[in-house]
Amino acid sequence: MKIISNNVEETIGLGERLAKKLKKGDCLALVGDLGTGKTIFTKGIAKGLGVKNARYVNSPTFVIVKEYKGRVPLYHFDLYRLDHYTSFDEMNYNEYFYGDGVTVIEWADKIRELLPKKYWEVVMEAVGEKNRKIEIRRR
């Protein structure tokens, strides 16, 4: 699916709608440059999963992962500062990827080799000051 989001609210809404299709063990690999809306999209996922105060979901840049409680747990990774996937490999990431929640990974292209065999890929691209092209596909 390809869509153009015209603003933050539409990006959040798209994440929220997708979240309603997600179940335990699903993984979303978010790919895109800085400022393309990966964290905004994740706020929508959180909202759709029933995370209280989803508007406060923010990027876990300095801690790598944040956990949120919803109808299923949300595990939100941000790998922006990750130099090499071997650093990530030292974490018990499998507990998240194959656990009881939904995993969202910003900058997932940095660990493509470690992603589950099946996952949702979300590619985001700025096509204007506020507009974003968002492509969602199952892998």
Task: Spell out the per-residue pLDDT of the chain, length 139, in tens.
Answer: 999 999 999 999 999 999 999 999 999 999 999 999 999 999 999 999 999 999 899 987 778 899 999 999 999 999 998 877 677 777 789 999 999 999 999 999 999 999 999 999 999 999 999 999 999 999 9
The answer to whether residue 33 sits within a structural domain is: yes
Question: Quick check: is 37 in a domain?
Answer: yes
Residue 94 belongs to a domain: yes
For residue 22, the model assigns a pLDDT of 97
Q: Is 119 inside any structural domain?
A: no
pLDDT number for residue 81: 87
Q: Find the length of the chain.
A: 139
Question: CA nearest 109: which of 86, 80, 66?
Answer: 80
Q: Is residue 139 part of a domain?
A: no
- Which CATH number fits the domain that encloses residue 50? 3.40.50.300
Domain-embedded: residue 133: no
Number of domains in the chain: 1
Asked if the structure places residue 63 within a domain, the reply is yes
Using a cut of 0.85, tell me whether the model's pTM lies above it: yes
Residue 63's pLDDT is 80
Query: Which pLDDT value is given to residue 92?
Result: 85
Q: Is residue 7 part of a domain?
A: yes
Of 78, 77, 16, give the one whose Cα is nearest residue 50: 16
In which domain, by residue range, is 7 found? 2-111
Q: State how far the Cα of 134 lies from the Cα of 71, in Å rounded to an integer.
A: 25
Which pLDDT belongs to residue 5? Answer: 98
For residue 99, what are the contacts with CB-CB under 8 A and spacing of at least 6?
A: 24, 25, 73, 75
